């Protein structure tokens, strides 16, 4: 599994990807920005996709000054 980094882009737009989702039976991963993840989350979960990585939950981001 590759690691989601700051250079990864959303598969739907040019924004930085903050969520990576995976569907095991397709061996496929998609990256989403927060906006497109929220737009698609219900459909993704209903279709069996799971979140494998979230940049927002990365330890180095917790407590970072905003």
Instruction: List residues near Zn ion by CB under 5 A.
Output: 10, 12-13, 15, 33, 36
Residue 53, Ramachandran bin (φ over 0: left; ψ between -120 and 50: alpha; else beta): beta
What is the closest distance, in whole angstroms, from the C-beta atom of residue 41 to Zn ion in the complex? 12
By beta-carbon proximity to Zn ion, the closer residue of 20 and 36 is 36
Q: Residue 8 and residue 20: Cα distance in Å, rounded? A: 10
Radius of gyration, CA atoms only, the chain: 12
By beta-carbon proximity to Zn ion, the closer residue of 30 and 33 is 33
What is the closest distance, in whole angstroms, from the C-beta atom of residue 16 to Zn ion in the complex? 9
């Amino acid at each position: 599994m590759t690691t989601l980094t700051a250079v990864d882009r959303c598969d739907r737009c040019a924004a930085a990807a903050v969520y990576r989702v995976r569907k095991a039976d397709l061996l496929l991963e998609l990256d989403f920005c927060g906006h497109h993840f929220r737009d698609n989350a219900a459909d993704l979960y209903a279709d069996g996709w799971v979140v494998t990585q979230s940049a927002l939950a990365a330890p180095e981001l917790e407590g970072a000054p905003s």
